């Protein structure tokens, strides 16, 4: 039977009694066995309207013969039986049960996403989860939960934004840096977003190396901030590989990749990579330059590469929504 991981939370009513009852109801299911529950931990609310009370959070690791959809339905049934009201997102709630992991399954449907899309960078999820399932592996990232929590504790307070040009990365990064009293790291060589196919191959290669070197200097770990100041960049260092793959011929791209691997040890890694993504069928009002679909695919491939660490995917068609999403992520990492 696959091991599954469930997060529990409550910030209304008798929180401890509600969580305990939810665990009892899970244990009572004959198709659930080997259930282990973490301690209950009090945490500050993340996202939603101000003035909410603190949460009690916990995690349960269990084995079950239920299929993922059936387990998810059982969690919803327990929520309903305990008085869960499904109002606006991130509103106060009597009980919240989220299916985080189901073995090594990766599932993305309208009804259910496994792994949970925000579990990898939420402290209030990872701390209780590590208590009961530290060795479970996040199948999309390839890291154990213990390593994800270690990354959250040890990584520099740095967020990198990745996305197509003209999708609001710079505006979002500067706004977040201002609100969180952090530092904005600007991609000063943004002309990389506008290829010049008429240039001779030698000039195209030189330009890509220039972009690589400049971004390496900006993110040089030897020059990095030595305090807890949050830094947010409107670029991701690895995006150089996506642009180079599209612009260079095979031989030059191989040489470029070798240069990038030599530079990589110098570069600070983000605590969280934020992907601002407008799908191919996005708003018609958004400019879609020629070749943007190919570039989007390259960027998404980079973001989804295993062992790169936590990633937050945000639809960037409206600035307010990405700002709220990333702000909540920043709060959840504290």
Three-class DSSP category at 59: strand
Torsions phi, psi of 126, nearest 5? -70, -40
Catalytic residue flag (residue 262):
no
Q: Is the dihedral of CA 58, 131, 139, 173 positive or negative?
A: positive
Catalytic member of 3, 15, 93, 245: 93
Q: Would strands 231-233 and 113-114 be described as parallel, antiparallel, or unpaired?
A: unpaired
Catalytic residue flag (residue 108):
no
Half-sphere exposure of 136 (CA within 13 A, CB side): 28
**Alpha-helix runs per DSSP H in 37-114:** 68-81
Torsions phi, psi of 312, nearest 5? -115, 120
Neighbours of 110 (CB within 10 A): 5
281 class by beta-carbon count within 10 Å (0-12 exposed, 13-18 middle, 19+ buried):
exposed
Catalytic member of 3, 74, 98, 277: 98
Q: Which of 134, 155, 157 is nearest to 146 (CA)?
A: 134
> What does the alpha-carbon distance between residue 88 and residue 324 come to, in Å, rounded to a whole number?
14
| Tokens found for residue 169 | 């990365």
Catalytic residue flag (residue 199):
no
Catalytic member of 3, 15, 84, 123: 84
Catalytic member of 76, 96, 266, 308: 96
| Residue 243, H or E segment | helix 239-247
Distance between terminal CA atoms of the chain? 34
Q: What is the DSSP letter of 52?
A: P
| Tokens found for residue 72 | 């998810």
Catalytic residue flag (residue 220):
no
Q: Which residues pair with 161 in a beta bridge?
A: 274
Q: Which residues are catalytic?
A: 84, 93, 96, 98
């Amino acid at each position: 039977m696959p091991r599954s991981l469930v997060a529990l939370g409550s910030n209304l009513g008798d929180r401890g009694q509600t969580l305990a009852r939810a665990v009892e109801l899970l244990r009572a299911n004959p198709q659930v066995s080997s259930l282990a529950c973490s301690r209950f931990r009090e945490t500050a609310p993340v996202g939603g309207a101000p003035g909410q009370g603190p949460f009690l959070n916990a995690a349960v690791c269990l084995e079950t013969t239920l299929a993922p959809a059936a387990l998810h339905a059982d969690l919803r049934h327990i929520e309903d039986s305990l008085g869960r009201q499904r109002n606006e997102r991130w509103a106060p709630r009597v009980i919240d049960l989220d299916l985080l992991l189901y073995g090594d399954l990766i599932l993305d449907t309208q009804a259910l996403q496994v792994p949970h899309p925000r579990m990898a960078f939420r402290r209030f999820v990872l701390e209780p989860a590590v208590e009961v399932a530290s060795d479970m592996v996040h199948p999309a990232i390839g890291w154990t939960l213990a390593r994800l929590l270690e990354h959250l504790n040890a990584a520099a307070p740095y967020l990198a934004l990745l996305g197509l040009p003209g999708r609001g990365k710079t505006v979002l990064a500067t706004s977040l840096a201002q609100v969180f009293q952090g530092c904005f790291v600007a991609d000063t060589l943004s002309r990389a977003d506008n290829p010049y196919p008429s240039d001779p191959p030698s000039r195209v290669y030189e330009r890509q190396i220039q972009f690589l070197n400049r971004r390496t200097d900006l993110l040089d770990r030897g020059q990095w901030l030595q305090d807890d100041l949050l830094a947010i960049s409107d670029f991701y260092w690895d995006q150089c590989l996506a642009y180079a793959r599209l612009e260079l011929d095979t031989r030059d791209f191989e040489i470029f990749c070798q240069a990038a691997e030599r530079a990589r040890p110098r570069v600070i890694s983000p605590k969280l990579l934020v992907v601002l993504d407008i799908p191919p069928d996005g708003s018609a009002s958004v400019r879609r330059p020629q070749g943007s679909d190919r570039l989007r695919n390259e960027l998404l491939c980079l973001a989804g590469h295993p062992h790169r660490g936590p990633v937050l995917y945000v639809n960037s068609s409206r600035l307010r929504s990405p700002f709220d999403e990333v702000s909540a992520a920043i709060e959840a990492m504290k």
